[in-house]
Amino acid sequence: MSELANCPNCGAVFVRNTIREVCETCYKKEEIHFKTVYEFIRKRENRTATIPEVVEATGVEEELIYRFIRIGKLQVAQFPNIGYPCSKCGTLIREGKLCGDCTGGLRKQISQLEREDEHKRKLSEMNKTQRTFYTNR
């Protein structure tokens, strides 16, 4: 659904939609930056470049390069040293939002919570059965 918003880069008013989160002018600038980055890393000698090297050589902001990777404009499969930071700890990753360590930690926490919930449920079941009192008449 479209909505009226201010461009996060320049502050201009534009109609935000699911495709773009910036105004037309900034989108065109981003496309120029993307072409610059892509032309640089496409060269055989630059395929092993890291993000700081790409930033230094092209002058494109690091966050913009990360966004190109996140939205899938830059495919990291062909470039072994390019990635983006994990949302939780900042470790460079090549897919998803979290690194393996953070994912494992979250899974561990979730399983711990599930065990605690199961334990509480069993305790409440035991309390219900203990309250029943039978007599012979």
Q: pLDDT tens digits for 49-105?
A: 999 999 999 999 999 999 888 888 888 888 888 888 888 998 888 888 899 999 999
Task: Say which CATH topology domain 3-85 has.
Answer: Arc Repressor Mutant, subunit A (1.10.10)
Domain boundaries, the chain: 3-85, 98-137
What integer pLDDT is reported at residue 102 of this predicted model?
94
Bridge partners (DSSP) listed for residue 6? 13
Q: What is the pTM of this model?
A: 0.70
* DSSP per-residue codes, 12-64: -EEEE-SS-SS-HHHHHHHHHHHHHHHHHHHSGGGTT--HHHHHHHH---HHH
3-state secondary structure of 7: coil
Pairing between β-strand 84-85 and β-strand 13-16 as defined by DSSP bridges: unpaired
What integer pLDDT is reported at residue 1 of this predicted model?
63
Pick 119 or 96 by higher pLDDT: 119
